[in-house]
Amino acid sequence: MKFTLSTVTKCSGRLGVLGGLDRLPNLSLQTPAFIFHTKGGSIPHLSKEAMQHVSGDPSCFLHLSISNTLHMQEAIKASRITIAEFIAQSNCATLLFVRDPSEPPIPGLPEKDSLPIYTRNGRRNITLEQYMTLVETFRPDAYVPLYDGDTDASSSKKRDQKSLDRTEKFVEQCLEWHRKSDALQSSCLIGPVVGGYNEKLREQSIAFLRQSDDAFAGYLIEGLHMHGPSVARMDGSAALGIVANVCKQLPEAKVRFCFGSYDPALVLEMVAAGVDVFDTSYVYLKAAQEHRALVFSFDVTSTEQEHVTELDTTDARWAEDFGPLLSGCRCYTCQKHSRAYVHHLHNTREMLGPILLMMHNLHHYVEYFKAIRHHVANDSLPALRNHLAGQKSLPPYEPPKEEKLPMPAAQKAELIEPMEDLGEKQNKKQRA
């Protein structure tokens, strides 16, 4: 994997091209950009046919996480094919990472020589040997070594230090394994930068990784948050300072990844700080969990007085609104369906609801990043930042509270009677 830097602006970030994969030499990605967040190798709610309405080009970069692909290992091993072939995405680049940006981790202390992975079957501790065996089975186009990045702004200095120590140990062992492995010769490595919100630990992490700079095709900035929906509401001021300092110390010729369901305004700040590649977990969480359509404006020439960033499709006021989700949008959903119809799909719990929302949100995100690259090229990103800052946001999403149904008296009696029988048995044993 090779990153070609084309432009570095004064206050708007940088432009580049990511490509040079051994398996797909003609595939490239214009940066700043995103890679598609997946579940089990598939973009959530969208088939390959539906994706054609979002992007006419079937080739893309996919974000895979071991938490929702671990169950495929035995089948892929038996088939003796790569994970790209197994998920029927041979024309797409597969990038394998440890965490799913849309899923918060389950609380718990990590083991000494393993990392907790949160799979569909619950929490599982995976050792370095198990991880590298998995990577050899999958043979992705790029992957990140095993690392401990489960830190955020509330983590203690001791926890940040432990994260760094464990990551250095894992990376050293992964590098040694990678060099000896014949199966991974065409796979690229991405170096994980950890250290929480401690700048000195971040510097130590970068210094350690740069000792093997030739082995890494790019770098992943981790340890800023614990993933999941809460990232969209995080205060990015502290994270931006860390990201900016990290980017200054990383080599300019290497691509920089930073994943999480970041708010679009925070994405702009990170682009200006020097981040190149993000993911689409924000789009997925808005569509599938919050039932909201992205409607924020990124046209700085717009004369409309008031813009709203999101549209809540669960709101009853859209029940008889037969306009598109976003006026002027060219996506399949807005061209073929109305707000009233998408609202109806939510009320009836139809599977088509999140599909249409995903199609719209992904299309909107694609156009947003086109606008970002345009502003970076013209060094006018501050104008787009000011345009976004003046838009009105909806209140934070709160999942509906499930009402507890009263338990029937007969069922209560069934629960009480066995307890009484148990007490009688214990008394008999004591008397005996």
CATH code for the domain in which residue 82 is found? 3.20.20.105
Strands 93-97 and 14-19: unpaired
Residue 131 lies in a domain: yes
- pLDDT for residue 146 is more than 50: yes
Preceding peptide of 107 cis, ω within 30°: no
The reply to whether 28 and 164 lie within a common domain is: yes
Task: State the Cα–Cα distance between residues 241 and 325, nearest whole angstrom.
Answer: 36
Number of domains in the chain: 2
Q: Which amino acid is at 303?
A: T
The reply to whether 64 and 124 lie within a common domain is: yes
- pLDDT for residue 166 is more than 50: yes
Task: Say which residue, 414 or 64, is predicted with more confidence.
Answer: 64
The reply to whether 50 and 125 lie within a common domain is: yes
Q: Residue range 115-126: average pLDDT? A: 86
Residue 399 lies in a domain: no
Residue 421 lies in a domain: no
Residue-range definition of the domain harbouring residue 11: 2-290
Residue 353 lies in a domain: yes
Task: State the Cα–Cα distance between residues 19 and 9, nearest whole angstrom.
Answer: 22
Task: State the Cα–Cα distance between residues 39 and 412, nearest whole angstrom.
Answer: 41
Residue 274 lies in a domain: yes
- Kindly report the backbone phi and psi dihedral angles of residue 90, in degrees, each rounded to the nearest multiple of 5, phi listed first: -65, -25
The reply to whether 118 and 68 lie within a common domain is: yes
Q: Residue range 128-150: average pLDDT? A: 96
Give residue-wise pLDDT tens across range 246-258. Answer: 999 999 999 999 9
Residue where one domain finishes, among candidates 240, 263, 290: 290
Detail the residues annotated as belonging to a binding site for Zn(2+).
329, 331, 334, 360
Q: Which amino acid is at 161?
A: Q
DSSP, collapsed to helix, strand or coil, labels residue 126 as strand
Look at residue 431 in the predicted model and tell me its pLDDT.
53
The reply to whether 146 and 45 lie within a common domain is: yes
Task: State the Cα–Cα distance between residues 387 and 368, nearest whole angstrom.
Answer: 13
Q: How sure is the predictor about 109, in pLDDT bands with cuts at 50, 70 and 90?
A: low
Q: Residue range 166-185: average pLDDT? A: 96
Residue where one domain finishes, among candidates 263, 290, 317: 290
The reply to whether 166 and 308 lie within a common domain is: no
The fraction of the chain above a pLDDT of 90, given in percent, is 81
Q: How sure is the predictor about 421, in pLDDT bands with cuts at 50, 70 and 90?
A: low
The reply to whether 349 and 266 lie within a common domain is: no
Lowest-confidence segment of 51-65, 66-80, 322-336 by average pLDDT: 51-65
DSSP code at position 109: P
Residue where one domain finishes, among candidates 256, 290, 324: 290
Residue 362 lies in a domain: yes
The reply to whether 236 and 336 lie within a common domain is: no
- pLDDT for residue 32 is more than 50: yes
Q: How sure is the predictor about 425, in pLDDT bands with cuts at 50, 70 and 90?
A: low
Q: Residue range 349-368: average pLDDT? A: 96
The reply to whether 84 and 206 lie within a common domain is: yes
The reply to whether 129 and 21 lie within a common domain is: yes
- pLDDT for residue 426 is more than 70: no
The reply to whether 260 and 342 lie within a common domain is: no
Q: Which two tokens stand for residue 121?
A: 């079957």
Residues paired with 338 in a beta bridge: none
Residue 405 lies in a domain: no
Detail the residues annotated as belonging to a binding site.
329, 331, 334, 360
- 163-173 in b/e burial notation, b at 16+ Cβ within 10 A? bbebbbbbbeb
- pLDDT for residue 400 is more than 80: no
The reply to whether 264 and 356 lie within a common domain is: no
Residue 354 lies in a domain: yes
Strands 33-37 and 61-65: parallel
